[in-house]
Amino acid sequence: MILEPEIFKIEEVIPESTQAKSFIFRGRIDYQPGQFIMVWVPRLDEKPFSISYHGEDFFGITVALKGRFTQRLHQVKKGDSLGIRGPFGQAFNLQACSEHNESNGPTCVVGGGIGMASLAVLIERLKMSALGGSASGGPVIVQGARTESELLYRTRFKDMMLYTEDGSAGRRGLVTDPLEDMQWRHGFKALYTCGPEGMMVKVFEFARRNRIPLQASLERYIKCAIGLCGQCSCNGLRLCIDGPVVNAETLATLEDFGRFARLRNSQRVTIEEYLKGCA
Amino acid sequence: MARVDLSTELCGIRLSNPTVLASGILGTTKSLLKRVSSAGAGAVTIKSLSLDPLPGHNNPIMVGFEAGAAGTMQGGCAAGFLNAVGYSNPGVKEAVKEFKDLSDVGAPVIASVIGRGVGDFMKVVEGLWGLDFSAIELSLSCPHTPGFGMMAGQNTPEATKEIITAVRTMTRLPLFVKLSPNVPEIGRIAKAAEEAGADGITAVNTLGPGMVINIEARQPVLDFKVGGVSGPALRPIAVRCVYDIYKAVSIPIIGVGGVSTGRHAIEMLMAGASAVGIGTAVYYQGIGVFQEVCREMEEWMTANGYPSIKELVGAVHN
């Protein structure tokens, strides 16, 4: 499954929001939260996705509508097959909190938009293990989206703090809004984040100010996924194999973080141009 | 015992050791070149540049093939890879920004250049004027990009001669030509390159093209369907090509193809190479492969009484 794609049948399609659907595959995959798989649609393309559902004998991905490839994926039905390669990359370190832990507070997971897909299995693992929790149980989960219809996993994780830019659900504002006050109150043990890079920059700055261990999952254009082609270089870091999860110390060395990414021809452009180019 | 000397020379360029990052692997950005150089490479080659930007082929651009069935001793081990990247690159104008100051890379940097025809090659080389490249490598041998290399018939003695003769007038830098193993007589092409003014030969490019089919999907895995073969499966062919070229020309050779250990590197040197390209081996051993290959070479040379690289180059021909 690393060298070449293996074919898996879709067992279930779950509508998650106006923009996102999940696809559940029957089969076993040895996966750590934070890693990614390559999903192959023959004669079209192959793209990276986080595993957003994971169990003994099933796994799933959550796909937001972005461009040509995801439009095709959204037409895929139960019983159809897709190629899967992986898993690849560095996972979130669930122990990160215990390394420099002066706080007994909870861990905090901050997700924005489809970034929540990368955090879902992490949240489940944190809830299961003693690591994630304060006295009250699992991690503090903060999810942000542009609007209510784009929020993910609201029935799956009932204890999320929700923020929308337009105020249509939860509080109006950004996921980073409550962090300083919550830090003052609880003292976070560790932070995990995935979402738009502008959002992650703010989470990073907050983590640095408060000296909280942080791990963030970044996204760049992936081709080979095995560390050879150089396409996903982010200041010399191959995100497919050295990432996609990186810690705050590494983030601090990445000049491109929040600013630049590379198009499929390796041209370095602003993140905004990159996102336009990928759609 | 005195330490062996791993340094080697290519057309007046001094390399601290004979390992060279092969073109197409990790050479997309200056920061990656720096990283590979700090990991011990004697020289590094950038990913090929064309005149205009190229998006490359759709994914999958790379697929491995196994040496044996799953569950057997060789199962899960890659006998090699196929790639059909399709020369994605931002074009020479944009690349100049990326590679503008190479002085801090820490090892000589070789520019790989591709073109649809003579005029393209000349313009790309001109575009690189004023940059700190140590040498230029003209790739005439890619098996998977329409309009370039093999797919444009550039792997003949005549085309090689025409392109080298033209580009020779455009640069004072050492000029290497990267050849395809898919030819009946590679020595003849190397000879044509030498006569036209090439300073060195890089041999070889990927083999093939080959094809890997996913039998459940009933489709070739690579989006371009076919791709060049690299890795272990390519090695004996690369060694034979270097052997043939060494007999045909007197200019230095960078031997590339499936090298992933010190023993492989020494084999390539004995066949006639003065330096050894490393590419796919980064999959097997990570970026540390350069240092590892050097360490293994040093050990073997010490144990077998070879004080320096020059005693190894072409040793099988003596």
Pick from A46, A63, A88: which residue ends a domain?
A: A88
pLDDT digits (tens, 9 = 90+) for B281-315: 999 999 999 999 999 999 999 999 999 999 999 99
Q: Where do runs of H (alpha helix) occur along chain A? A: 68-74, 96-99, 116-128, 179-186, 197-210, 248-251, 271-278
- Half-sphere CA count of B131, side-chain side, radius 13 A: 27
Which residues are CB-neighbours of B170 under 8 A, at least 6 positions away?
B122, B125, B126
Name the residue in chain A with its Cα closest to that of B281. A228
Rounded Cα distance, B178 and A37, in Å = 34
Question: What pLDDT score does A276 carry?
Answer: 87
Q: What are A170's two structure tokens?
A: 């939860």
Among A70, A266, A272, CA closest to B90: A266
Give me the number of domains chain A comprises: 2
Q: Are residues A84 and A100 in the same domain?
A: no
Q: Are residues A128 and A240 in the same domain?
A: yes
Question: What pLDDT score does A131 carry?
Answer: 59
pLDDT digits (tens, 9 = 90+) for B146-196: 999 989 889 999 999 999 999 999 999 999 999 999 999 999 999 999 999
What CATH number should be reported for the domain holding residue A227? 3.40.50.80
Question: Residue A228 and residue B31: Cβ atoms within 8 Å?
Answer: no
Rounded Cα distance, B166 and B157, in Å = 14
Q: Is residue B142 part of a domain?
A: yes
Q: Are residues A72 and A134 in the same domain?
A: no
Region of residue A35 (left: phi > 0; alpha: psi -120 to 50; beta: else): beta
Q: Are residues A59 and A24 in the same domain?
A: yes
Region of residue B17 (left: phi > 0; alpha: psi -120 to 50; beta: else): beta
Backbone angles phi, psi at A192, to 5 degrees: -130, 135
Residue A111 to residues A92, A132, A136, A196, B278: CA-CA distances in angstroms? 14, 16, 21, 9, 40
Question: What pLDDT score does A130 carry?
Answer: 66
Q: Is residue B1 part of a domain?
A: no
Q: What are A55's two structure tokens?
A: 């169990």
Residue A244 DSSP SS3 = strand
What pTM value is reported for the model? Answer: 0.94
Question: Residue A43 and residue B219: Cβ atoms within 8 Å?
Answer: yes
**Cβ neighbours of A223 in B, within 8 Å:** 56, 59, 61-62, 85, 88
Q: Are residues A184 and A108 in the same domain?
A: yes
Q: Which of residues 45-64 of A touch B (CB under 8 A)?
A: 45-47
Q: What are A198's two structure tokens?
A: 């502008």
Q: Please, what are the averages of pLDDT over each run of 10 residues along chain A (279 residues)?
A: 92 96 96 97 97 97 96 97 97 73 83 97 90 65 96 95 96 95 92 97 97 97 96 97 97 97 96 84
Pick from A58, A88, A118: which residue ends a domain?
A: A88
Question: What pLDDT score does B68 carry?
Answer: 77
The residue range of the domain holding A196 is 96-277
Question: What pLDDT score does B133 carry?
Answer: 98
A269 - beta bridge partners?
A261
Question: What pLDDT score does B238 carry?
Answer: 98
What CATH number should be reported for the domain holding residue B57? 3.20.20.70
Q: Are residues A123 and A259 in the same domain?
A: yes
Q: Is residue B183 part of a domain?
A: yes
Rounded Cα distance, B76 and B251, in Å = 40
Q: Are residues A56 and A146 in the same domain?
A: no
Q: What are A25's two structure tokens?
A: 């595959």
- Half-sphere CA count of B20, side-chain side, radius 13 A: 37
pLDDT confidence bin for B75, thresholds 50/70/90: low
Q: What are A233's two structure tokens?
A: 């270089």
Q: What angle do CA B82, B83, B85 make, to 5 degrees?
A: 170
Question: What pLDDT score does A2 carry?
Answer: 82
Q: Are residues A243 and A117 in the same domain?
A: yes
Which residues are CB-neighbours of A31 under 8 A, at least 6 positions away?
A37, A51, A54, A59, A87, A121
Question: Residue B223 and residue A236: Cβ atoms within 8 Å?
Answer: no
Q: Are residues A267 and A136 in the same domain?
A: yes
Among A157, A43, A34, CA closest to B60: A43
Q: What are B312's two structure tokens?
A: 């190894």
Q: Is residue B283 part of a domain?
A: yes
Contact pairs from chain A to chain B, CB under 8 Å: 129
What is the pLDDT of chain B when averaged over all its residues?
95
pLDDT digits (tens, 9 = 90+) for B231-240: 999 999 999 9
Q: What are B165's two structure tokens?
A: 């003769």
Q: Are residues A221 and A229 in contact, defined by beta-carbon separation less than 8 angstroms?
A: no
Which residues are CB-neighbours of B157 under 8 A, at least 6 positions away?
B188, B189, B191, B192
Max Cα distance, chain B (Å): 59
pLDDT at B71 over 70: no
Q: Which of B11, B142, B241, B294 is catalytic?
A: B142
Q: Are residues A220 and A139 in the same domain?
A: yes
Pick from A27, A54, A88: which residue ends a domain?
A: A88
Q: Is residue B64 part of a domain?
A: yes
Residue B129 to residues A21, B44, B100, B106, B276: CA-CA distances in angstroms? 51, 18, 10, 20, 26
Residue B142 is a catalytic residue: yes
Helix (H) or strand (E) holding B164: helix B157-168
Q: Are residues A74 and A156 in the same domain?
A: no
Taking the alpha carbons of B149, B179, B85, A218 in that order, is the dihedral positive or negative? negative
Q: Is residue B2 part of a domain?
A: no
The residue range of the domain holding B23 is 8-317
A108 - beta bridge partners?
A140, A191
Q: Which of residues 210-249 of A touch B (CB under 8 A)?
A: 223-224, 226-231, 233, 235-236, 238
ipTM for the whole predicted complex goes beyond 0.90:
yes
pLDDT digits (tens, 9 = 90+) for B91-131: 999 999 999 999 999 999 999 999 999 999 999 999 999 99
pLDDT at B70 over 90: no
pLDDT confidence bin for B78, thresholds 50/70/90: confident
Backbone angles phi, psi at B303, to 5 degrees: -65, -30
Question: What pLDDT score does B72 carry?
Answer: 66
Taking the alpha carbons of B229, B232, B233, B238 in that order, is the dihedral positive or negative? positive
pLDDT digits (tens, 9 = 90+) for B209-257: 999 999 999 999 999 999 999 999 999 999 999 999 999 999 999 999 9
pLDDT at B24 over 70: yes
Name the residue in chain A with its Cα closest to that of B67. A3
Q: Is residue B161 part of a domain?
A: yes
Q: Are residues A236 and A104 in the same domain?
A: yes
Give me the number of domains chain B comprises: 1
Q: Are residues A97 and A190 in contact, defined by beta-carbon separation less than 8 angstroms?
A: yes
Of A230, A262, A268, the CB nearest to B25: A230
Q: Is residue B216 part of a domain?
A: yes
